[in-house]
Amino acid sequence: MERAVITGATSMIGISLIKAMLNDSEMKRIYAVIKPGTEKRNRIPEDRRIICVECDTKEYGQLSSKIDDKCDVFYHLAWPRTATYQESYEDMLIKSLNIQTVLEAVKTAADLKCRMFIGAGSQSEYGVQDVQRFSPDTPCRPVRVDGILHLAAGEMASILAKSLGMNCVWMRIFSVYGIYDRSNSMIMTTIRKLIKGERCAFTPAEQKWDYLFEDDIGRAFYLVGKKVCGSHIYCVGKGEAIPLKDYIYTISDVIACGGG
C-alpha cells in the first residue's frame, strides 16, 4: 500500500488512520477527502505526502476527476449523520442517501484502479441480540434504520466491488472514543461534567458496550489495507463487552485521581 484515499478524513477514525499511515515509510501519497470549507481541516497533520481533496459526499461520483493518480486502497469512512434516534419519513429518506454515497465511493475506487475498497459499518447491523461475542458469522438482525442501511450498504458494496474486480472489506465498528469524539457523546459529556464538578445523572447503565480507543481502530483499518488479501467482514472492537456503568466508574476514578 503506497497510495490510499480516505473519505471522512477529519473524523476521529480518519485522523487516527492517517497517523498510522504516516508511520509507514512505504506510504507515498495519502488523499484526504474533506468537506469543502470544513473547520476541521486543521486536524490533518502537516506532511508532504498528504493531499487534501475537497469534495462533498453528494459529489463522490465526480471524486475520481479530482485525483489524478492510480491508488491502491480506498477507505470510505464518511457517513453523513442525521439525528441518531430520529426515524421519521424525512429522516429515512436522508439516511438512505448514504447507500448511494457508498456505491459511488466503490465506483470511484475502481476508477482509481484500487485493489481494495474498505468500508466502515457498525455494530447496529446486528441489532439487539443476547450473545456473548459477535463475529462476522453472527446473523444480522438490525432493528433501527441506521443498522439496516449499514447492512445493506456493506452487502451492496461487496457485490459492486466484486463486479468491478476489487476486493471489499467491511469493518463493523462497535464503539469508539477519543479526543475527536462528538462533544455530546456519553463519554465526552461525562468527562466534561465531572471535571467541572457538575452532577451527572444516568440510567442503570447495565447494557454492555465494547469501547476501543480511536488510535487502535485507526491502526486496525491501516493494517487491513496493508496486510489483508481477499474480501472479508471484520468486527472491530476489544472483543469483550462490559456494562456501561463500569466505563462510567472508570472515568470517575480517573478524574478523581487528577487525570482530568
pLDDT reported for residue 90: 83
Q: State pLDDT tens for residues 106-149.
A: 999 999 999 999 999 999 999 988 888 899 999 999 999 999 99
- In this predicted model, which residue has the larger pLDDT, 124 or 256? 124
Q: How confident is the model at residue 82 (pLDDT cuts 50, 70, 90)?
A: low
Confidence check: pLDDT of 235 > 90: yes
**Torsion over CA of 196, 199, 203 and 206, rounded to 10 degrees?**
60
Confidence check: pLDDT of 170 > 70: yes
Under DSSP, is residue 88 helix (H, G, I), strand (E, B) or coil? coil
pLDDT reported for residue 54: 97
pLDDT reported for residue 207: 86
CA distances from 51 to 35, 38, 221 (A): 14, 15, 19
- In this predicted model, which residue has the larger pLDDT, 18 or 202? 18
CA distances from 227 to 1, 20, 48, 69, 134 (A): 9, 14, 24, 22, 23
Q: State pLDDT tens for residues 46-61.
A: 999 999 999 999 999 9
Question: Residue 4 is inside which H or E element, if any?
Answer: strand 3-7
Question: Residue 73 is inside which H or E element, if any?
Answer: strand 73-76
CA gap 12, 170 in Å, rounded: 18
Q: Which percentage of the chain shows pLDDT scores above 70?
A: 97
Confidence check: pLDDT of 253 > 70: yes
Q: How confident is the model at residue 81 (pLDDT cuts 50, 70, 90)?
A: low
Most confident of 143-147, 174-178, 231-235: 231-235
CA gap 121, 147 in Å, rounded: 9
Q: What is the DSSP letter of 142?
A: -
What are 257's three cell numbers? 485521581
* 103 closest CA partner among 54, 165, 152: 152
- In this predicted model, which residue has the larger pLDDT, 163 or 182? 163
* 19 closest CA partner among 243, 240, 213: 213
Q: How confident is the model at residue 85 (pLDDT cuts 50, 70, 90)?
A: low
Exposure letters 17-54 (e unless 16+ CB within 10 A, then b): bbbbbeeeeebebbbbbbbeeeeeeebbeeeebbeeee
Cβ neighbours of 95 (radius 10 Å): 21
pLDDT reported for residue 199: 87
Q: State pLDDT tens for residues 86-102.
A: 778 888 888 898 999 99
Q: State pLDDT tens for residues 21-54.
A: 999 999 999 999 999 999 999 999 999 999 999 9
Question: Residue 220 is inside which H or E element, if any?
Answer: helix 214-227
CA distances from 32 to 162, 200, 258 (A): 25, 38, 37
Q: Per CATH, the architecture of 3-179+210-238 is what? A: 3-Layer(aba) Sandwich (3.40)
Confidence check: pLDDT of 169 > 80: yes
